[in-house]
Structure 1
């Protein structure tokens, strides 16, 4: 009888050691998760949907989430090159997570300067008993609130990473699908790669809060082509269309401001900026 108990205990220990070995192996490796990201620029235009592939690079409990093209641009920037330039305050950003330190940060590049915005909103998940297959993964439903939106997520313990796209994390497995209840933002896992290159191209980012973020956004809205700075430096500012027609920059400024007003549907709805 004692031998049986010892054998049973030995088997349990072997299972625990095996499980820990698998966990250690998983979390000590690099993984890349690619998400198809869809979003509506205008909440009143349900058919106006943009789609991008975004990448979650993960090593241990550290991750970076960004647009696939931005990752290529960041790689060039990291090697002392000129990365891709995007107009706007939030059009070029990435999300840094350090889950051991419970730190999530949004790094925004604006006019060549990196700004670091800490994400301090806590995700309180409600895990339900509902399950379904998503692709090849057995997934379970969970809900939370973030950024003034209600989010419905599906996670799988078959990928044992408490992480996910954008700022989302904290579930007992990787988030394979998440969307807000208004169907304005969605992230769906489409590919998993072992390995990958995780790097941070941020250079001495300036820490800001949401109030300062709003100030930057309004500054861009009022002067999207940085005319004031250029004029102060003695430069002549004009805009040449693809047809070669030179026009007053104020015309292009008004076009940009119109686009900003029409596409003002941020993922953090509780930080939506009133430009008027």
Structure 2
């Protein structure tokens, strides 16, 4: 009896989840440029990110991450089906990885940010709604007449160029809430830069990451700082495995260089 009730509850929960989610009407592609290490211009990366927009929800994430996930699954499947000398060899080294990790899932006025530490995704609600100041400046970007807005997001000063030719109050990452679609956005040090390159009609399910750990920003920030300050210690706590002593200094330096965060 209990087993039957459990199965019914699982079916109902999946049904309700599907009911809550919707499909996109359009997808915006942004060319995203950013530094891995703010002290080294040579760590600059370019990656295509996507913003899927529906009637009441949206999701922003890396396009390359979706490609990487798909290719790694296919590679794993092929490796398991074709062992070499009786051994299954899984190698993802030739698959271009995604460097832009955070995702933003928005429903109504609620925004949730997903980010990863040591292979684990964490979710926290965004409690920093940007108070935009509209500036009397305009310019043309990708054929759109755009107007300027400035605002502050946590410790970053943000400039956004939006167009009321597309009257959707959306944009990349958490840069939303303007009287039109954000076409370009960047912080004052240009550690991150988003530029709209393509907009198309697309009917696709808008869904967040699953299997994440819910937290808040303060706890997430502490965990990230603890990891960057002592990655070997964090790895031991998470896995019970020790990092070889001769590798600790190299690994610590490597993770501390990964210091560019949108928050």
Match in the other structure for 1:93: 102
Contact 2:24 2:54 (C-alpha < 8 Å) held by counterparts: yes
Distance in 1, matches of 2:119 and 2:39, equals 33
Q: How many residues align structurally?
A: 220
Cα–Cα, structure 1 residues 60 and 257, in superposed 2: closer, same or farther, change >3 Å?
same
Q: Which moves more between the two structures, 135-144 or 102-111?
A: 102-111
Corresponding residue of 2:138: 131
Check conservation: 1:57, 1:196, Cα contact below 8 A: no
Displacement of 1:252 in angstroms is 3.9
Q: Structure 1, residues 178-221: CA drift from partner, whole Å, max 9, x if none?
A: 11111221100011111142332522533212232134324534
Measured in 2, the distance between the counterparts of 1:122 and 1:229 equals: 33
2:260 to 258, 262, 265: 265
Please state whether the residue corresponding to 1:213 is helix, strand or coil: helix
Distance 1:70 1:260, change over 3 A: same
What SS class does the counterpart of residue 206 from structure 2 fall into?
coil
Please list every run of 5 or more consecutive structure 1 residues that lacks an aligned counterpart in the other structure. Answer: 1-27, 85-89, 238-247, 269-276
**Coordinate RMSD, CA, aligned:** 3.3
| 2:110 equivalent in structure 1 | 103
Contact 1:53–1:68 (CA<8 Å) still a contact in 2? yes
Note if 1:70 corresponds to 2:65.
Answer: yes
Structure 1 residue 165, shift from structure 2 partner: 0.3
Q: Give the whole-Å Cα distance in 2 for the aligned partners of 1:257 and 1:55.
A: 32
Select the residue among 200, 204, 211 that pairs with 1:193.
200
Alignment correspondent of 2:210: 203
Structure 1 residues 30-41: aligned runs within 5 Å: 30-41=25-36
Q: Is 2:128 the partner of 1:121? A: yes
User: Which of structure 1's runs of 4+ aligned residues deviate more than 6 A?
Assistant: 75-78
Contact 1:162 1:172 (8 Å CA) reproduced? yes
What do residues 201-259 of structure 1 show as CA deviations (whole Å, max 9, x unaligned)? Answer: 52253321223213432453434583455446xxxx7xxxxxxxxxx744444323102
- In structure 2, C-alpha distance between the alignment counterparts of 1:196 and 1:44, rounded to whole Å: 41
Contact 2:47 2:64 in 1 (8 A): no
**1: CA distance, partners of 2:60 / 2:205:** 10
SS at 1:182's partner residue? coil
Q: CA deviation at 1:55?
A: 0.7
3-state SS, counterpart of residue 177 of structure 1: strand
Alignment partner for residue 155 of structure 1, among 155, 162, 165?
162
Gaps of 5+ in 2: 1-22, 78-91, 93-98
Higher relative contact order (CA 8 A, sep 6+): 2
1:58–1:198 contact (8 Å) kept in structure 2: no
**1:125 to 1:77, Cα distance in 2 relative to 1, 3 A:** farther
Do 1:41 and 1:48's aligned partners in 2 also have CA atoms closer than 8 Å? yes
